[in-house]
Chains A and B, each alone.
Chain A
């Protein structure tokens, strides 16, 4: 009876087996790299209708975050400033800082018509998760912890994962990320000489009664 398969087949089958294992490993590794929020969200840098530079305003000029995002200490939302806030400096009839710049045309139009500038939202949490800005900043969590070095960004980019696992890492052990409430909006703050962030955080956690909740309904209400 003649052989069914050729002599070479066994070698090919073993090669294919190794190839299959390699392929599966690549797919799994690739999946975990490309499908997680660390890839899908981080780096998102949409073009805004007005090329507002945080690097200039918050960095070089040293404006406080809360000057524009003014309800961050009182409200769940940090709030995007109204066009009127821009006009505190850029109004041609008042301070007139670059009051006639064509780049600011959408802002002036917004003030005239009353329709807001259509900023593109960068950071968006799912609707089933509840997040409160006020609670976080009042317990000493800085803007920089979740938004990155905004004071160095010409165009705002999505800097952190903002995934549930990422939230939980801090909730599980928040000391590293705490600073005095007065320094929350100081994006260049460093712990004083001779002290680690952890030591400062431990003290603050005691003083501010920081008890980051680990239960489901803290965020999923």
Chain B
């Protein structure tokens, strides 16, 4: 092993590991899984019951609205959009942090994302559900919600594909679908970990079904890693498109205060800003009560605060620029709206709440103490969440209440139904979040294992006293001292952990006809397994597979495989989606029921781009999911290897190598002896 310049013993600036303290594969699996396995802390039930009660209030409000009519809300001309769309945009915005963390940071190889991506992705999904309620109920006649989708119907009428509201429908439903798939695909290895750790039959069956029969096969990891990259690549433009499209709902109209080209970037920055704030709002308490400080370190919080500072400043710049352009344009309608908004109107207070919470308060994050003190961060992000809600309130309600003609000016007064619905949304969000914490691993276990120092074959271990110190024996920064205080990292096991009972030479499987499936051996760590796999292939075996808790770098080449062909399916999906969208919109809008919108030609294509884009992404994502499942041969609930006494370690901390009996070179005795000769333990031949 050649030491790289960064890892020499006298590195002047040693790299701080992403997980602090002595963590190994086993302890990470246990730490995260036990949260769902052990009884919850005393506060969980009260918190859950309060959230569920708020949720019931929201259900009550929605039921009253649907049964009585839209008039029970305070929205009325001129403020026809008020709390409903404010909440919709607020929640959609919250939903942006998850995908940013999971997709964009993945593409930029920001590995610190592994500690927080699962949690943020879950919040994305819950937030989009909270948002998705409003398009459903704000039309009043809930049972006609299907009118929003282009389904063939007896009326032969279809949606206006040049409408920003329809783009919004496509964007949000695509975003929800892709986020859900991304989240679930990320969960599969961890669900398998939970399945293999499960003691009760119920948990085994539930997680067994959800994990689809994932066992950490390298033949599966090979497709999985590429599929994950594809999802990240698809989600990155998608996440940017969603809030841009939401901003088009306003920007394509003519209302002063809405009709601005700055909206898309300003909304996207605001969404990331608010999303990070909400992630921290939920993550900081969860991190404290579940003692996750070694996985979600203070550096994670620090970096997220920097994101909040950066995006908050972009948003603040947009606020100032809107105001400046309103004055500088010389447009009297624009200027009177902004003058009313900022200086002399009925909603000036809301404007300054927004300015204070979003632009001014986050500036404290220039100071390190403010970024690294969790309770203080919690207070600041609370202000940010309030500020972001007010941002949408100001944009929507203030602009509508004061448009072109003084004759059409009017006030908005929320009713109790508005308030109950809004609070109910928070109830829904926290109910889902608490259930998620209770039932599913809130940290991506398999991914965190992959970034442990022990997973890096080039990691240079130094004597404990030297850990994270520079060549002068001092900690180069305060962060190094903080990380070092939690202890040096564990080293990988060099011996396979023993099993209480001896592993039989022939493992019998239930319902077998006596033919053999193959031979399997356990190894102590990834490096030994990689070495063994290379030797096995060199010895002439072809049907070799490695089974690992996370993807061990270089393993697919070691077992004689190449890069997965899965991207071809993704491409096919994207082209199918694009072709379907082109056919759909042109057939309907230019041929089937030609409609003139905004004085455009029937065939003018520019306004069809958002729908085409979203359908391209949607189909590419679905094809990726199905091709991943198909190429891996999942679901595969029964596998002969399951009967091997220690094989369930393959999703926790065990490393296995298997040779199938179909291999022409396979012979039970020789292959077993070969596996033992290259250092395999718990070697057994398994019945098919």
Q: Which residues of A contact B (CB under 8 A)?
A: 1-10, 13, 32, 36-38, 161, 163-166, 168-169, 214
Q: How far is the CB of B686 from chain A (nearest CB, A)?
A: 11
Residues of A within 8 Å of B638, CB to CB, are: 3, 5-10
Interface check B645, CB cutoff 8 A: yes
Chain B, range 625-681, C-beta contacts under 8 Å to A: 635-639, 642-648
Interface check B155, CB cutoff 8 A: yes
Residue of A nearest to B208 (CB): A4
Q: How far is the CB of B646 from chain A (nearest CB, A)?
A: 8
Residues of A within 8 Å of B645, CB to CB, are: 1
* A163–B642 CB distance below 8 A: no
* B154–A163 CB distance below 8 A: yes
- Given A10-B636, A13-B635, CB of A3 within 8 Å of CB of B154: no
3 tightest A-B contacts by CB?
A165-B156, A164-B155, A5-B637
Say whether chain B's binding surface is mostly helix, strand, loop, or mixed: loop
Tell me the total A-B contact number using a CB cutoff of 8 A.
Answer: 67
Total number of B residues with any Cβ neighbor in A under 8 Å:
28
- Given A164-B157, A168-B593, CB of A4 within 8 Å of CB of B637: yes
Interface check B31, CB cutoff 8 A: no
Residues of B within 8 Å of A5, CB to CB, are: 205, 208, 637-638
Q: Kindly identify which residue among A1, A13, A32, A163 contacts B637, using a CB–CB cutoff of 8 Å.
A: A13
Contact with A along B436-475 (1 / 0, CB 8 A): 0000000000000000000000000000000000000000
Residues of A within 8 Å of B155, CB to CB, are: 163-165
* B511–A6 CB distance below 8 A: yes
Contact with A along B190-217 (1 / 0, CB 8 A): 0000011000000011001000010000
Residues of B within 8 Å of A6, CB to CB, are: 510-511, 638
Q: Please measure, in the bound complex, the distance between the C-alpha atom of A32 and the C-alpha atom of B152, giving whole angstroms.
A: 9
Contact with A along B211-250 (1 / 0, CB 8 A): 0010000000000000000000000000000000000000
Residues of B within 8 Å of A8, CB to CB, are: 511, 638
Contact with A along B145-172 (1 / 0, CB 8 A): 0000000111111000000000000000
Interface check B509, CB cutoff 8 A: yes
Residues of A within 8 Å of B213, CB to CB, are: 10
Residues of A within 8 Å of B635, CB to CB, are: 10, 13
Residue of B nearest to A172 (CB): B593
Q: Which residues of B contact A (CB under 8 A)?
A: 152-157, 195-196, 204-205, 208, 213, 509-511, 593, 635-639, 642-648
Q: Kindly identify which residue among B154, B195, B204 contacts A161, using a CB–CB cutoff of 8 Å.
A: B154
Residues of A within 8 Å of B510, CB to CB, are: 2-3, 6-7
Residues of B within 8 Å of A1, CB to CB, are: 196, 642-648
Residue of B nearest to A14 (CB): B635
* A4–B154 CB distance below 8 A: no
Q: Please measure, in the bound complex, the distance between the C-alpha atom of A198 and the C-alpha atom of B205, giving whole angstroms.
A: 67
Q: How far is the CB of A18 from chain B (nearest CB, A)?
A: 14
Q: How far is the CB of B637 from chain A (nearest CB, A)?
A: 4
Known: A3-B509, A10-B638. 17 other contacts (CB 8 A): A1-B196, A1-B642, A1-B643, A2-B643, A3-B643, A5-B637, A5-B638, A6-B638, A7-B638, A9-B637, A10-B637, A37-B154, A163-B154, A164-B154, A165-B157, A168-B156, A168-B593
Q: Please measure, in the bound complex, the distance between the C-alpha atom of A161 and the C-alpha atom of B154, giving whole angstroms.
A: 9
Residues of B within 8 Å of A7, CB to CB, are: 509-511, 638
Residues of A within 8 Å of B196, CB to CB, are: 1
Q: Please measure, in the bound complex, the distance between the C-alpha atom of A38 and the C-alpha atom of B639, giving whole angstroms.
A: 51
* A165–B644 CB distance below 8 A: no
Q: Please measure, in the bound complex, the distance between the C-alpha atom of A166 and the C-alpha atom of B510, giving whole angstroms.
A: 62
Q: Please measure, in the bound complex, the distance between the C-alpha atom of A3 and the C-alpha atom of B201, giving whole angstroms.
A: 11
Residues of A within 8 Å of B509, CB to CB, are: 3, 7
Q: How far is the CB of A24 from chain B (nearest CB, A)?
A: 14
Q: Please measure, in the bound complex, the distance between the C-alpha atom of A163 and the C-alpha atom of B152, giving whole angstroms.
A: 13
Residue of A nearest to B647 (CB): A1
Q: Please measure, in the bound complex, the distance between the C-alpha atom of A37 and the C-alpha atom of B154, giving whole angstroms.
A: 7
18 A-B contacts (beta carbon < 8 Å):
A1-B647, A2-B510, A3-B510, A3-B642, A4-B208, A5-B208, A5-B638, A6-B511, A7-B510, A10-B637, A10-B638, A32-B152, A37-B154, A161-B154, A163-B156, A164-B154, A164-B156, A165-B153
Residues of B within 8 Å of A166, CB to CB, are: 154
Q: Please measure, in the bound complex, the distance between the C-alpha atom of A166 and the C-alpha atom of B509, giving whole angstroms.
A: 63
Which residue of B154, B509, B643, B648 has the most chain A CB atoms within 10 A of its CB atom? B154
Residues of B within 8 Å of A168, CB to CB, are: 156, 593
Residues of A within 8 Å of B642, CB to CB, are: 1-4
Residues of A within 8 Å of B647, CB to CB, are: 1
Q: Please measure, in the bound complex, the distance between the C-alpha atom of A2 and the C-alpha atom of B645, giving whole angstroms.
A: 8
Q: Please measure, in the bound complex, the distance between the C-alpha atom of A22 and the C-alpha atom of B638, giving whole angstroms.
A: 25
Q: Please measure, in the bound complex, the distance between the C-alpha atom of A201 and the C-alpha atom of B607, giving whole angstroms.
A: 37
Q: Please measure, in the bound complex, the distance between the C-alpha atom of A1 and the C-alpha atom of B208, giving whole angstroms.
A: 14
- Given A5-B208, A6-B510, CB of A36 within 8 Å of CB of B154: yes
Residues of A within 8 Å of B644, CB to CB, are: 1
Residues of B within 8 Å of A10, CB to CB, are: 213, 635-638
Residue of A nearest to B152 (CB): A32
Q: How far is the CB of B158 from chain A (nearest CB, A)?
A: 11
Residues of B within 8 Å of A9, CB to CB, are: 637-638
Q: Please measure, in the bound complex, the distance between the C-alpha atom of A103 and the C-alpha atom of B132, giving whole angstroms.
A: 61
